[in-house]
Amino acid sequence: MHLSDFQYDLPENSIAQTPVEPRDSSWLLDATTMRDHRFFDLPVLLDPGDLVVVNNTRVRHARLLGHKRDTGGRVEVLLLGMLADGTWEALVRPARRIATGVALVFERLVATVASDPVEGRIRLRFDDDADVEGELEQFGEVPLPPYISTPLDQPERYQTIYADRTGSAAAPTAGLHFTESVVRGLSERSIELASVELQVGLGTFRPIAVDDVTQHAMHSEGFHVSEAASEAVERTRERGGRVVAVGTTVVRTLESVATGNGRIEPGSGETNLYLTPGASFNVVDRLVTNFHLPGSSLLVLLAAFMGPGWRAVYETAVHRGYRFLSFGDAMLCDRR
């Protein structure tokens, strides 16, 4: 499989720069019937007894603007997550003249560079008594994907309505369409809702840099699957319902803990599961997802899930004026 197999023409004006309001007024393309719907129609497109699984991760306010304590030179970092040794992995720019031992000041936070930059990545060590998460919530900025150039007036618009576990560097964007009304509509049709957690890393946006897509090295991300989520999948199997994943992050999470009989087991850990065409899907039956970048691992996963028909769906979406990527519209597709 070549990278060129996962390319398509994405006009620049198809990339959504701002979210629509209300959230559930976005378009939803049924990839099976090729009919256009609004996202608020999702409950009637599913069947009673189905299970909708969402990713409840919350995006960390991880973008920090500061300066070098010794020289006053301006610096920007994007915190990616805390490592086992207590340091934080981060992207820094400019990386020039950043070296181990340099002290960086961000409002009330002071961090010492704990490793020399490698492709813009460093490790930072904050003071032991620093309330890093608390300070980030107060003065950090929510990082937006690089293809979004329009500032976001309301940072909460890049969070799902059910986000409650801070830890991601990017939003699970398929969930941004959900409103309380949609959730209520699911309940009224006896469609269960469960949540899992996958801490979305910036590797999600890292382009595939090899021609043979199977040789792409997938990033690792932390996940948590509760006993309640496992039991919800079990109940769904017993009643003959389908498991509907909201976003590729949910697909990767559920398939990472699959037991091989359509069920899952609870647990926490890290996953670098990379699903390419020909892979088996043991848990997820249907997928709600946004439209992804050409040549991305997310698009490769979609092609693995629904088969070569993805291209016709994307061409239709472009032709009909659907909005693409994080703040764009969504599609509903079935497993091949």
Region 3-59+152-334: CATH code: 3.40.1780.10
Sign of the torsion formed by the C-alpha atoms of 313, 315, 318 and 321:
negative
Give the pLDDT confidence of 250-273 residue by residue, as tens digits: 999 999 999 989 999 999 999 999
Q: Where exactly are the structural domains of the chain?
A: 3-59+152-334, 63-139
Percent of the chain past pLDDT 90, that is, above it, reads 88
Give the pLDDT confidence of 139-198 residue by residue, as tens digits: 999 989 889 999 898 989 999 999 998 999 899 999 999 999 999 999 999 999 999 999
pLDDT of residue 264: 98
Q: For residue 328, give the DSSP letter.
A: S
Q: Is residue 38 scored above 80 in pLDDT?
A: yes
Mean pLDDT for the stretch of residues 25-45:
98
Q: Is residue 206 scored above 80 in pLDDT?
A: no
pLDDT of residue 127: 87
pLDDT of residue 205: 65
pLDDT of residue 186: 98
pLDDT of residue 61: 93
Do the domains spanning 3-59+152-334 and 63-139 agree at the CATH topology level?
A: no
pLDDT of residue 65: 95
Q: Is residue 135 scored above 80 in pLDDT?
A: yes
CB 23 within 8 A of CB 181: no
What's the CATH class of domain 63-139? Answer: mainly beta
Tell whether omega for the bond before 22 is within 30 degrees of 0, i.e. cis.
yes
Q: Is residue 119 scored above 90 in pLDDT?
A: no
pLDDT, averaged across the chain: 95
Residues in contact with 129: Cβ distance below 8 Å, sequence separation at least 6, in sequence order? none
Using CA atoms, how far apart are residues 173 and 136, in angstroms rounded to an integer?
A: 21
